[in-house]
Amino acid sequence: MTTLSTLNKFKKSGTKFTCLTCYDAMFARTMDKAEIDTILIGDSLGMVVQGHDSTLPVTVADMAYHTANVARSNEHALILADLPFMSYVTLPEAIANSRQLMQAGAHVIKLEGGRELCELVKTLAQAGTPTCVHLGLTPQSVNVFGGYKVQGRSDESADKLFIDAQAVVAAGAALLVLECVPADLAKAVTEALDVPVIGIGAGADTDGQVLVMHDMLGMVHGRVPRFVHDFLSDERNTAHSIEGAFALYQQSVRECSFPTAQHQFS
Ligand code: KIV
Ligand code: NA
């Protein structure tokens, strides 16, 4: 069973680890068989499960439902669950909503943002709830960004991201996710901080990698993001199976053959 101490050991030993999004019991079971290290019940379910064009319509009840479905059949993975859009603006709301996801079976609560989350991160840690802070392209802020764009490209925004990351770790964040940031920035953050850093579109030097399950099975609606690889139709998936795709992803991340330079931003 993967725990936060497993991930901390992985970071110290330079062992790269995996995360995949998952929203239901049977896929969770299949990920278990492939020994995927961590599972994220992402609010990306708003897009891939519910058919919305953003993550904004997702509710805490939706997240709790899918978290419980995954948790029931999970044995091996550490389970992360997203607090959805506008469910953690005030401290009392954030605490009540985190409790709901933890009681549904999450082991870690994921939040999008930066230094403004410090008080919440500290409060949750003291109450027994570890947090993962998601920085860079934070999809819940798509209307602030004006689209899904790579973040941290200017010196100013790279500095802001670095300071945000340091601040939330100092406040007690257990993990970080970096989404769509230049690979050299992700490397610098990963090396500077003691907590495991999980990347998506953040290059090969983060401690872990995460992908949306549907994307890595080749189920993409519209343009395929640069950081996605289709592990289902990869010729090395000799079983041509979903379990084989998960196992190939796990193996590729462990042996550092995924991601490559073609999957990253500079
Ligand atoms: O919701 C999600 O799938 C995520 C990952 C892309 C990190 O937050
Ligand atoms: Na998310």
Indicate which atom in ligand 1 lies nearest the CA of residue 112. Answer: 8
Q: What average pLDDT does the segment 106-134 reach? A: 98
Residues near ligand 1 with C-beta < 6 Å? 21, 40, 42-44, 82, 134, 177, 179, 200, 210, 212
Nearest residue (by CA) to ligand 1, atom 8, is: 42
d(CA 265, CA 36): 25
- CATH code for the domain in which residue 241 is found: 3.20.20.60
Given ligand 1 and candidates 79, 198, 210, 219, which is best to mutate, with the most ligand atoms within 8 Å of its CB? Answer: 210
Per DSSP, the three-state class of 120 is helix
Confidence class for position 109, pLDDT limits 50, 70, 90? very high
Q: How far apart are the first and last CA of the chain?
A: 35
d(CA 13, CA 175): 17
pLDDT in tens, 183-213: 999 999 999 999 999 999 999 999 999 999 9
Q: State the burial class of residue 12 (Cβ atoms within 10 Å of its Cβ: 0-12, 13-18, 19+).
A: exposed
The gap from C-alpha 79 to its chain's centroid, in whole angstroms, comes to 10
The range of the structural domain enclosing residue 121 comes to 4-263
pLDDT in tens, 52-75: 999 999 999 999 999 999 999 999
* pLDDT for the residue numbered 56: 98
Q: Is 257 annotated as a binding residue?
A: no
Q: What average pLDDT does the segment 218-224 reach? A: 94
Indicate which atom in ligand 1 lies nearest the CA of residue 139. Answer: 8
For the chain, the domain total comes to 1
166, 190 Cβ separation under 8 angstroms: no
Nearest residue (by CA) to ligand 1, atom 2, is: 42
pLDDT in tens, 230-260: 999 999 999 999 999 999 999 999 999 999 9
d(CA 10, CA 257): 17
Q: How far is the CA of 177 from the centre of ligand 1 (A)?
A: 9
Q: How far is the CA of 239 from the centre of ligand 2 (A)?
A: 30
Assigned token pair, 75: 């044995």
The number of the ligand nearest the C-alpha atom of 48 reads 1
Indicate which atom in ligand 1 lies nearest the CA of residue 177. Answer: 7
Q: How far is the CA of 43 from the centre of ligand 2 (A)?
A: 4
Q: Is 187 annotated as a binding residue?
A: no
> What ipTM score was computed for the predicted complex, to two decimals?
0.99
* pLDDT for the residue numbered 110: 99
* pLDDT for the residue numbered 203: 98
Q: Is 230 annotated as a binding residue?
A: no
* pLDDT for the residue numbered 78: 98
d(CA 266, CA 261): 9
Per DSSP, the three-state class of 187 is helix
Given ligand 1 and candidates 19, 27, 40, which is best to mutate, with the most ligand atoms within 8 Å of its CB? Answer: 40
DSSP assignment string, 21-81: E--SHHHHHHHHHTT-SEEEE-TTHHHHTT--SSSTT--HHHHHHHHHHHHHH-SSSEEEE
Catalytic residues: 179
Q: Is 44 annotated as a binding residue?
A: yes
Q: How far is the CA of 54 from the centre of ligand 1 (A)?
A: 12
Q: Is 110 annotated as a binding residue?
A: yes
